[in-house]
């Protein structure tokens, strides 16, 4: 009987210890949960502002796209005729001080030519082959653009797809830096005006993002007349930078 009582007392003792430990755990948890939780919205007062900046400059490089399209009764003949004409054009370009590393092939196609009359009757008869070879010429002396076009057409170019004016990488980055500075100043000015109207003060920046847009001029009067150089008139290139700035107020 005494053994049974001792065992019962032991079990009760263990239960008391366990319950006391759990009680302490819940008290500690309640104390932790009762602590005030700070939120980031209480710590930071922010506003997103967009700033815009522009910079303009004259292009200092032109990309001229031109080539030859030839047709013959066989694919080999069409390819050979096209190659002969393209080589003549390249030779003429080099006489105008356009180096070979500024001339590159941008598109080459060889495809069959079908008779329209036979095709309407439900058949496909090949009557020849056509080869189109187009190259891009980089010109750094813009005074030569019209001359290059006329000389290329005179040498056999029968496809002139246009002139694309642009900037060298160095000049592009220079204009972009100016536009970026103006965009940041624009965003800061707007933020300061808002802060002043609300009786607040700018104390920092938490986030900045940027995007850039380029506006390239494109103009080509595509009908060269005998004895008259093709007029090419490049316009200004505009770089626009947009910044999104998150300002911190207090």
Q: What is the pLDDT of residues 152-171, one digit of tens each?
A: 999 999 999 888 889 999 99
- Residue 33 is predicted with a pLDDT of 41
**DSSP assignment, residue 113?**
E
DSSP string, 169-210: HHHHHHHHHHHHHHHHHHHHHHHHHHHHHHT--EEEEEEEEE
Question: Is the pTM higher than 0.75?
Answer: no
Q: CATH 3.30.110.170 residue ranges in the chain?
A: 44-58+170-249
- Asked if pLDDT for residue 189 goes beyond 70, the answer is yes
- Residue 128 is predicted with a pLDDT of 95
Mean pLDDT score of the chain: 82
- Asked if pLDDT for residue 35 goes beyond 50, the answer is no
Element (H, E) at 81: helix 75-95
**DSSP assignment, residue 1?**
-
Count H helices and E strands in the chain, helices first: 6, 7
Q: Work out whether strand 202-215 and strand 103-114 pair parallel, antiparallel, or are unpaired.
A: unpaired
- Asked if pLDDT for residue 219 goes beyond 70, the answer is no
Instruction: State which CATH number among 3.90.1150.10, 3.30.70.2970, 2.60.40.290, 3.30.1360.40 fits the domain covering 61-166.
Output: 3.30.70.2970
The span from the CA of 105 to the CA of 149, in Å, is 17
In words, the CATH class of domain 44-58+170-249 is alpha beta
pLDDT in tens, 141-155: 999 999 999 999 999
Q: Vertex 17, ends 12 and 21: CA angle to 5°?
A: 145
CB 242 within 8 A of CB 211: yes
Q: Vertex 213, ends 212 and 217: CA angle to 5°?
A: 145
Neighbours of 174 (CB within 10 A): 15
Q: Vertex 129, ends 126 and 135: CA angle to 5°?
A: 155
Q: CATH 3.30.70.2970 residue ranges in the chain?
A: 61-166
């Amino acid at each position: 009987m005494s053994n049974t009582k001792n065992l019962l007392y032991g079990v009760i003792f263990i239960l008391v210890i366990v319950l006391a430990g759990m009680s302490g755990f819940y008290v500690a948890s309640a104390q932790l949960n009762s602590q005030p939780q700070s939120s980031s919205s209480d710590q930071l007062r922010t506003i997103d502002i967009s700033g815009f900046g522009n910079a303009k400059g004259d292009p200092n490089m032109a990309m001229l796209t031109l080539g030859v399209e030839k047709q013959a009764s066989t694919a080999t003949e069409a390819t050979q005729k096209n190659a002969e004409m393209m080589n003549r054009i390249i030779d003429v370009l080099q006489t105008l001080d356009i180096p070979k590393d500024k001339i590159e092939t941008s598109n080459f196609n060889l495809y069959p030519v079908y008779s329209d009359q036979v095709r309407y009757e439900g058949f496909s008869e090949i009557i020849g082959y056509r080869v189109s070879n187009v190259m891009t010429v980089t010109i750094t002396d813009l005074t030569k653009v019209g001359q290059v076009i006329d000389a290329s057409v005179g040498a056999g170019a029968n496809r002139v797809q246009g002139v694309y004016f642009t900037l060298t990488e160095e000049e592009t980055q220079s204009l972009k830096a100016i536009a970026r500075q103006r965009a940041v100043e624009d965003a800061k000015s707007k933020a300061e005006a808002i802060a002043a109207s609300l009786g607040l003060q700018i104390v920092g920046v938490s986030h900045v993002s940027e995007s850039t847009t380029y506006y390239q001029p494109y103009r080509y009067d595509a009908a060269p007349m005998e004895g008259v150089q093709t007029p090419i008139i490049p316009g200004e290139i505009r770089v626009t930078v947009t910044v999104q700035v998150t300002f911190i107020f207090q």
